[in-house]
Amino acid sequence: MNVASWILDNGAPGEKVALLSRRSSYTYSGLRQGVDQVAAYLVQAGLRKGDRVALMADNSFFWVTAYLGTILAGGVAVPLPPRIDAAQGSHILGTTGCVLGFVQSEYAEGFRSLAQDGLEVVAGEAGQAAAASHALAGSGEGLAASDVPSIQACDVDDAVDLAVLMFTSGSTGKPRGVMVSHRNILANTSSIIEYVGLSAEDRMMAVLPFHYCFGTSLLHTHLRVGGSLAIETQFTFPNRVLKYMQETRCTGFAGVPSIYQILLRRSNLKGMEFPHLRHVQQAGGRLPDVFISELRSALPAARIFVMYGQTEATARLSYLPPEMLDTKLGSIGMGIPGVKLEVLDEEGKPVPLGTVGEIVAQGQNITLGYWNAPSETEQSFRRNKLYTGDLARVDEDGYIFVVDRAKDFLKCGGQRVSCREIESKVLQFQGLVEAAVIGQEDDTLGEAVRLYVVHPRGDAVRAPLEQFCTESLPPHLVPRAVVFLDELPKNSSGKLDKMALKREYRAQLESEGRA
């Protein structure tokens, strides 16, 4: 089944609002017409099943119609962040061989600088359907909404035909294109709808970018149930976002850890009321326990879903039921419906109680591997299972507790140390918004803790913070350096970018002649 057709075949009446922005609202009738218009444009332009189509735009009607229209026509959508690094953007366009790009007008010039000569660019405004101002091939005139032909969804084998190439953020290295099939999206969307309990009455406050798999999953799920999404493209002013959420009567909110840390420490969230808010979703990395507790106090009526996932799993892999937050705080829960999660040792056997192993997942949401990267695919996708690279323990009730990414450890004095555990402890310091740990060279320990933090009072809290670290951490884990920043670097998905911190530290060493 073509997943774009499945998402829009939801029974929602045409006059119902599907998407809202600050400037306009868009009904399901308008959305379906816009998607058909894009698909018609692509078919008339000669798109073949499996051809790749790039997409660069903010969250908008333009983005949604380009995305779903490409998939409906049998193409493979390749979403790109609007402000992507030039080298990464050129690499993605080059390796995927995109035949066309749907680009929001304000990003068209930058996109053309990334693309190879001859790549057709269809530019348009955020509030338009992606092909609204363009002629059908050979027709010589634009296509009015009333003239949109009835489009038959491209027939696909949903198990093997790709719907999307979703590139990873590149926070741990060069972005990799994850091959997402129609069936992957069908399975993961159905599972999320089931465990969150979504219905046509739900409206999501969408601040996560749709080019990020977490953001895309919000789009998939809410459109599939006939619900709606309120679109906000700027999180620079969080109080403005919260006010818009009240005004649009959102029933749901979703974010990565940095979003919640900012809301809890740098906004009016704790003094505001959200009578319509029913559920809150958190994924994209672990939100430290202290922030989860604060979030529960700030939103006592909302069900808080702590979730775990990867791009390689379409989006979600596990969730912790909200009623288990008291007894299993810090856990990612268990596998979502249709997903089997195990924690295995190096021999592929389940680890004993309390022992650390790697999280391995199996289910129809597990994607088909990495684009043009057979060796990397073979490493992470083995025996129809996804080897996540995340290390975890399992408790006596079968709940999983992530220890850290396999690559996010330090070796201090010969002992393997989790950066995440240090960060969680440091974030208990009053008023601290963000914290990140990387390793730095040390003559005694080999590798020592280098701590980056964000606090409203900045360097003025250095002395009490250093004292807190000394009192709260073992001697070999007390930071050798504490660096205060106005904000920590983020990738295009809003997740912490530790590679940027490591580059900054390496540049400092080079400037001092120590690299």
CATH number assigned to the domain comprising residue 437: 3.30.300.30
Residues 146 and 267 in one domain: yes
In percent, the amount of the chain with pLDDT more than 70 equals 93
Q: Please state, in angstroms and rounded to a whole number, the distance separating the CA atoms of residues 316 and 191.
A: 9
Q: Name the token pair of 220.
A: 């998939």
Q: How many helices (H) and strands (E) does the chain have?
A: 14, 25
Residue 110 resides in a domain = yes
pLDDT digits (tens, 9 = 90+) for 436-485: 999 888 766 778 899 999 999 999 999 999 999 999 998 888 999 999 99
Backbone angles phi, psi at 131, to 5 degrees: -115, 20
Looking at the fold, whether 189 and 239 belong to one and the same domain comes out as yes
Please tell me the number of Cα atoms within 13 Å of 467 on its side-chain side: 5
The side-by-side arrangement of strands in the sheet containing 316-320 is 25-27, 17-20, 228-231, 203-206, 252-255, 279-282, 303-309, 316-320, 334-335
| Position 161 in a domain | yes
Answer yes or no: is 401 within a domain. Answer: no
Tokens at 284, concatenated:
């994209």
- Which range of residues forms the domain containing residue 425? 408-511
Question: For residue 222, which of 12, 5, 494 has the smallest C-alpha distance?
Answer: 12
Domain boundary among 331, 360, 393: 393
Q: For 354-406, how does the pLDDT look when each residue is reduced to its tens digit (9 = 90+)?
A: 899 999 999 999 999 999 999 999 999 998 899 998 999 999 999 999 987 76
pLDDT in tens, 449-458: 999 999 999 9
Q: Are residues 496 and 350 in the same domain?
A: no
Residue 134 is predicted with a pLDDT of 62
pLDDT of 92 strictly over 50: yes
Does residue 411 or residue 351 have the better pLDDT? Answer: 351
Where a domain ends, among 393, 422, 441? 393
Q: For position 91, which CATH number holds? A: 3.40.50.12780
- Verdict on whether the full-model pTM lies above 0.75: yes
Would you state the structure tokens that stand for residue 435, as one six-digit string? 């914290």
Task: Transcribe 294-353 into DSSP letters.
Answer: HHHHH-TTSEEEEEEE-GGGSSEEEEE-GGGTTTSTT--BEEPTTEEEEEE-TTS-BPPT
- Parallel/antiparallel/unpaired status of strands 434-442 and 177-181: unpaired
User: Which has more confidence, 494 or 178?
Assistant: 178
Same domain, 259 and 159: yes
If one counts the domains in the chain, the total is 2
Higher pLDDT, 206 or 115: 206
Assess if residue 400 is contained within a domain. Answer: no
Q: Are 451 and 435 in contact (CB under 8 A)?
A: yes
Point out which residues pair with 282 in neighbouring strands.
255, 306
**Neighbouring-strand partners of residue 181:** 162
Largest Cα–Cα separation, the chain:
74
The residue out of 342, 366, 393 marking a domain boundary is: 393
Inform me whether the pLDDT recorded for 36 exceeds 80.
yes
- Looking at the fold, whether 145 and 197 belong to one and the same domain comes out as yes
Nearest alpha-carbon partner for 386 in 375, 378, 397, 394: 378
Residues 455 and 315 grouped into a single domain: no
**Residue 344, pLDDT above cutoff 80:** yes
Note whether 16 and 150 are same-domain residues: yes
88 phi/psi in degrees, rounded to 5:
-65, -40
Band (pLDDT 50/70/90 cuts) for residue 236 is confident
Q: Are residues 366 and 416 in the same domain?
A: no
Kindly state the average pLDDT of the residues 176-196: 97
pLDDT digits (tens, 9 = 90+) for 121-146: 999 999 998 887 664 433 333 344 44
Quick one: DSSP state of residue 512?
T
Please indicate, yes or no, whether residues 162 and 267 belong to a single structural domain of this protein. yes
Together in a domain, 75 and 194? yes
Task: Indicate left, alpha or beta for 446 from its phi (over 0: left) and psi (-120 to 50: alpha).
Answer: left
Residue 124 located in a structural domain: yes
Both 195 and 53 in one domain: the answer is: yes
**What does the pLDDT average to over 283-309?**
94
Instruction: Decide: 456 and 266 in contact? Cβ < 8 Å.
Output: yes
Counting Cβ atoms within 10 Å, is residue 207 exposed (0-12), middle (13-18) or buried (19+)?
A: buried
Residue 402 inside a domain? The answer is: no
Q: Does residue 399 lie in a domain region?
A: no
Is residue 52 included in any domain, yes or no? yes
CA–CA distance, 390 with 407 (Å, rounded to integer):
9
425 with 449, same domain: the answer is yes
